[in-house]
Amino acid sequence: MPQAGLNGRRGFQPRGKALGGSSAINAMVYARGHPRDYDNWAAMGNTGWSYDDVLPYFKKSEANAIHRESSFHGVDGPLSVTNLRSPSPLNEVFLKACQSRGIPYNPDPNGADHDGCYRVQVTQKDGERHSAAAAFIHPNLDRTNLDVRTDAHINRVLFDQRRAAGVEYRRDDRLGSVRARREVVVSAGAFGTPQILMASGLGPGAHLKRFGIAPVLDVPGVGQNLQDHISALLIYRARIPDHTIGISTTGVARLLKAAWEWRRHRTGLMTSCVAESGVYYRTSPDVEVSDMEMELIVGIADDHGRKQHLGHGYSAHLLLARPKSTGEVRLASPDTRVPPLIDPRYFSHPYDMETLVKGTQIALDIMNSAEFDPYRKDMLIRYDRDDPQQIEETLRDHADTEYHPCGTCRMGPDGDPMAVVDPELRVRGIDGLRIADASVIPRVTSNNIQAPVVMIGEKCADLIRN
């Protein structure tokens, strides 16, 4: 929906409609967030979700090829996590620039310490994407108790009174259904899960009746509490084409060579996740935990790459780690094939703009440091470092999602009227129905959410076993 905080612009919210969900299209960055993120979940009444509680599930899912001796990492899980095989030398320039501004280097932001500048870890195996499907589904396709049905679009959850009895789906324009002996687990993401629940009769009663949907249960929190990282983008044209991805004779030749190298050696430019290094930093010394993150992009990433420019450059994505603005997801139609109405309400809380302006000023200091002098040319979108009002206006014209939506079926304790699931991920008031995806996150973690979502899946499996 048009965003008042973005001067009426509409954002772009793609989802991965494939086995493995959005892990099939994301940037592959493996980042857990700060331990305090999960301690805050527990403090909100979500027993069993503190950092100490969830760390074993992060480790269980992970096969980390680098941090093999660390007590914070797993080495024999199904999901491959490693360093990039062929990172750009521009990352070293970025890391030195961060350190010149007093920010220390952190060899493992998913380990004992979170703050500092770092080289990203990615979900890759043998130089290619290792999605959730590749890790958890493909190796188990021969199991007799697993039936994977692709090209099947979920219409609704089926109920017997207030018990989930199965799901109805559409495949090849024909309706089908699956009955559940024990439980139904919904994992359709921060947009898909609330849409399916509302189309099934679980959601705000008045909203459902407007579409002729008979409520099975009035659940006011379904679709509420939408959270997302809002992202600013600093784009610099490069003086030289070295170490960047670009549209030029040199750039095209480099990509052709990279394709050959990848096919032969599984190394080179084709293994890049584009966002190859980053930094967690604070907008003020009195901020206890980093409230900003920035990642170096080794190319011109205008509008997340949807706007193409000739030549070479590099960019910096900086995101607000813990936004306070919340939005909602609503039905546009009772037909789940029709996209829902998504309203993140970016910048609706004053904290978000105030903090992102400060974070942008610090990011400009890093990107304008002497280390980048041999590479830096003009900015594609100008930010005036010493004019907060100009920065705010530019953010409203250009800021957008960092693709981390969550929270729309949030987890919460008894007595929380907006909680959709309890700490065991069971939908309140309904028997035999759980949710295991980003929608249950009560407060967004401080960076990419792929790793937290995998952790949620691992923990949900244990909850079901128990």
Q: Which of 226, 392, 401 is nearest to 306 (CA)?
A: 401
pTM, two decimals, is 0.96
Q: Which two tokens stand for residue 322?
A: 């813990």
DSSP string, 248-270: SHHHHHHHHHHHHHHHHHS-SGG
Instruction: Please give the sequence-ordered ranges of beta strands (E in DSSP) within 173-242, or none if there are none.
Output: 174-179, 184-186, 202-203, 217-218, 230-238
What is the per-residue pLDDT for 63? 98
**Cα(158)–Cα(160) distance, integer angstroms:** 7
Q: Which two tokens stand for residue 82?
A: 């490693």
Identify the segments of the chain with pLDDT beneath 50.
Answer: none
Sign of CA dihedral 45, 47, 50, 55: negative
Q: Which two tokens stand for residue 18?
A: 């494939």
Three-state secondary structure call for residue 281: strand
H or E stretch including 350?
helix 350-367
H or E stretch including 35?
helix 35-43
**Cα(147)–Cα(240) distance, integer angstroms:** 53
With contact defined as beta carbons under 8 Å apart, do 201 and 217 qualify? yes
Q: Would you mind telling me the total number of residues written for the chain in this entry?
A: 466
Residue pointed to by tokens 């935990």: 289
**Cα(352)–Cα(319) distance, integer angstroms:** 10
Q: Which two tokens stand for residue 271?
A: 């293994």
> Could you tell me the end-to-end alpha-carbon distance of the chain, in angstroms, rounded to an integer?
41
Strands across the sheet containing 153-160: 153-160, 163-171, 174-179
What is the per-residue pLDDT for 148? 96
Tell which CATH classification among 3.30.560.10, 2.60.120.1030, 3.40.309.10, 3.40.50.12660 matches the domain 4-35+81-134+227-401. Answer: 3.30.560.10
DSSP string, 9-22: B--------STTGG
What is the per-residue pLDDT for 423? 98
Q: Which two tokens stand for residue 186?
A: 């919904």
With contact defined as beta carbons under 8 Å apart, do 230 and 399 qualify? yes
Q: Helices 350-367 and 388-398: crossing angle, nearest 10°?
A: 100
Phi, psi of 385 (to 5 degrees): -55, -35
**Cα(298)–Cα(285) distance, integer angstroms:** 30
Residue pointed to by tokens 């937290």: 452
Catalytic residue among 67, 229, 317, 404: 404
The residues with which 156 forms a beta bridge, in sequence order, are 168
What is the per-residue pLDDT for 95? 98
Q: Which two tokens stand for residue 421?
A: 């699931």
DSSP 447: S
**Cα(43)–Cα(39) distance, integer angstroms:** 6
Span 4-56, pLDDT tens digits: 999 999 988 999 999 999 999 999 999 999 999 999 999 999 999 999 999 99
Q: Which of 299, 371, 281, 282 is nearest to 95 (CA)?
A: 371
Residue 414 exposed, middle or buried by CB count within 10 Å (0-12, 13-18, 19+)? exposed
**Among this protein's residues, is 229 annotated catalytic?**
no
Instruction: Please give the sequence-ordered ranges of beta strands (E in DSSP) within 139-249, or none if there are none.
Output: 153-160, 163-171, 174-179, 184-186, 202-203, 217-218, 230-238, 246-247
Instruction: Please give the sequence-ordered ranges of beta strands (E in DSSP) within 44-122, or none if there are none.
Output: 62-64, 79-83, 116-119, 121-122
**Cα(322)–Cα(443) distance, integer angstroms:** 8
Half-sphere exposure of 327 (CA within 13 A, CB side): 25
